[in-house]
Amino acid sequence: MSHRVALAGNPNTGKSTLFNLLTGLRQHTGNWPGKTVVRAEGELRTDNHTFQIIDLPGTYSLYSNSADEEVARDYIIFEKPDITLVVVDATSLERNLNLALQVLEMTKNVIVCVNLIDEARRKGITVDKKELSRRLGVPVVLLSAREKIGVIQLMKTMDQMVDGKISTDPYLIPYEEEVEKKIEEMEPRIKEIFGDSMPSRWLALRLLDGDKNLLQALKTYIRDPQSVEIKHEPAQGGCCHGA
Amino acid sequence: MESKPIYQFHKGDRLEITSVQVEGVMRRRLLDLGFVRGAVIDVVQKSPLGDPIAFRVFNTSIALRREESSLIHAVKMEEDSEVKVQ
């Protein structure tokens, strides 16, 4: 069975270059159901596994509710990829980590790919991979997709992750006391409804944020349990929640 | 120092954001783009009529309309203040 890998990242981080590098010509494109957003997916074979790679739209965030961001958010939350690769730009980490931190709140199976490392070096920027990995609580791989640097390391890390050889402990942003208290109150009730199928802390935060768009997506998800079941059939080309 | 809406500063000024009062979806968008409290931004360019204005935020230029830039407040940073590496 192939493992599903989602590629997330800001625009212009070389996400598509990495996608092309990983999948070569074994890819096809179409649209996300009901949305004018391009969906590209392809296949990657490593030493031990076959991966189905899904290129999510490039976004700065997953909360602003543009069609692009909805697609990316829904995929990570409802389709639950086996691995999410977050591609970040080594030359502007501060901006890029916004999205990375959002993804870390949503799923444990994350690998942070620090791309454009060659360009960063030219600008005199060095990225402390070990420290970044320690602070984020997930594996970090330094890459230059354009120069084909770091790809083997990335594939090794992906293999190890699906083999269960890597345990992650994603960094979760601590919020103000008032917010944390509310999260604490809400989490048990969210767990009652969704069990472990949803990241309860993340969901509590979205509810506190009054994210109506997400509520709508959730309703569709709850109403249509079919969409939950089909998700795990490998034959399915992958689609949105009950769209 | 006095904080004022960021559209009132001049080209070349370096600012530190003190508050973002925009609401709703646009607030989220601006926060995602880097207009957060404490962020250091530069006034890059003003349109001939003064609207919109381009700002440099974490290495990216973003143009804002008066509508939004009037709701983001900042203070001007001293000329010799330490330049934040972006």
What is the predicted pLDDT for the residue at B86?
47
- The DSSP bridge partners found for residue A4 are A52
In sequence order, the 6+-apart residues with CB closer than 8 A to the CB of B13 are B42, B43, B76
Residue of B28, B29, B59 with shortest CB distance to A95 = B59
What is the predicted pLDDT for the residue at B80?
58
Say which CATH number the domain at B53 has: 2.30.30.90
Q: Does A17 touch chain B (CB under 8 A)?
A: no
Residue of B28, B29, B59 with shortest CB distance to A92 = B59
In a domain, B67, yes or no: yes
- Measured between alpha carbons, how far is B20 from A207 in angstroms, rounded to an integer? 22
What tens digit of pLDDT does each residue of A122-173 get? Answer: 999 999 999 999 999 999 999 999 999 999 999 999 999 999 999 999 999 9
Instruction: Please report, rounded to a whole number, the percentage of residues in chain A having pLDDT higher than 70.
Output: 92
What is residue B19's three-state secondary structure?
strand
Cross-chain Cβ contact A94/B32 below 8 Å: no
Q: Can you give the pTM of this predicted structure?
A: 0.85
In a domain, B85, yes or no: no
Q: Calculate how close chain A gets to B44, using CA atoms only, in Å.
A: 18
Cross-chain Cβ contact B28/A98 below 8 Å: no
What is the predicted pLDDT for the residue at A243?
37
Scanning every residue of chain B, which has its alpha carbon at the shortest distance from the alpha carbon of A212?
B25
Cross-chain Cβ contact B28/A60 below 8 Å: no
In sequence order, the 6+-apart residues with CB closer than 8 A to the CB of B58 are A92, A94, A95, B34, B39, B86
- The DSSP bridge partners found for residue A111 are A85
Q: Does B33 touch chain A (CB under 8 A)?
A: yes
What tens digit of pLDDT does each residue of B47-75 get? Answer: 998 899 999 998 889 999 999 999 999 99
Q: Write out chain B residues lying below 8 Å of A94, CB-based.
A: 58, 86
Can you spell out the DSSP letters for A116-153?
A: -HHHHHHTT----HHHHHHHHTS-EEE-BTTTTBSHHH
**Per-residue pLDDT averaged across A107-116, rounded?**
97
Residue of B28, B33, B58 with shortest CB distance to A94 = B58
Per-position b or e across A78-97, b if 16+ CB within 10 A of its CB: bbbbbbbbbbbbbbbbebbb
Using CA of residue A75, residue A77, residue A80, residue A84, what is the dihedral sign?
Answer: positive
- Measured between alpha carbons, how far is B48 from A170 in angstroms, rounded to an integer? 47
Q: Calculate how close chain B gets to A110, using CA atoms only, in Å.
A: 20
What is the predicted pLDDT for the residue at A79?
92
What is the predicted pLDDT for the residue at A241?
44
In a domain, B83, yes or no: no
Q: Does B59 touch chain A (CB under 8 A)?
A: yes
Residue A211 — pLDDT band, cuts 50, 70, 90? confident
What is the predicted pLDDT for the residue at A34?
76
**Per-residue pLDDT averaged across A33-61, rounded?**
91
- Measured between alpha carbons, how far is B16 from A146 in angstroms, rounded to an integer? 35
In a domain, B45, yes or no: yes
Specify the length of chain A in residues: 243
Could you tell me the CA-to-CA distances from A11 to A30, A55, A60, A95, B60 in Å, in that order? 19, 12, 7, 11, 12
Residue A35 — pLDDT band, cuts 50, 70, 90? confident
Residue A230 — pLDDT band, cuts 50, 70, 90? very low
Q: Write out chain B residues lying below 8 Å of A95, CB-based.
A: 34, 57-60
- Does the structure show a pLDDT above 90 at B81? no
72-131 in A: which are within 8 Å (CB) of B? 91-92, 94-95, 98
**Per-residue pLDDT averaged across A103-120, rounded?**
97
The tokens of A57 are what? 């739209």
Cross-chain Cβ contact B34/A65 below 8 Å: no
- Measured between alpha carbons, how far is A22 from A28 in angstroms, rounded to an integer? 13
- Measured between alpha carbons, how far is B19 from B39 in angstroms, rounded to an integer? 10
ipTM for the predicted complex comes to: 0.75
Q: Calculate how close chain B gets to A99, using CA atoms only, in Å.
A: 8
Q: Write out chain A residues lying below 8 Å of B58, CB-based.
A: 92, 94-95
In a domain, B84, yes or no: no
Q: Give me the numbers of helices (H) and strands (E) for chain B, helices first please.
A: 2, 6
- Count of beta carbons in the 10 Å neighbourhood of residue A236: 9
In a domain, B82, yes or no: no
Q: Does B60 touch chain A (CB under 8 A)?
A: yes
In a domain, B86, yes or no: no
Residue found under tokens 């690998």: A111
Number of folded domains in chain B? 1
Q: Which uninterrupted H or E stretch holds A183?
A: helix A177-194
What is the extent of the structural domain holding B37?
Answer: 4-76
- Residue ranges of domains in chain A: 3-162, 177-230
Cross-chain Cβ contact B58/A91 below 8 Å: no
One of 3.40.140.10, 3.90.1150.10, 3.40.50.300, 3.40.630.10 is the CATH number of A3-162, namely 3.40.50.300
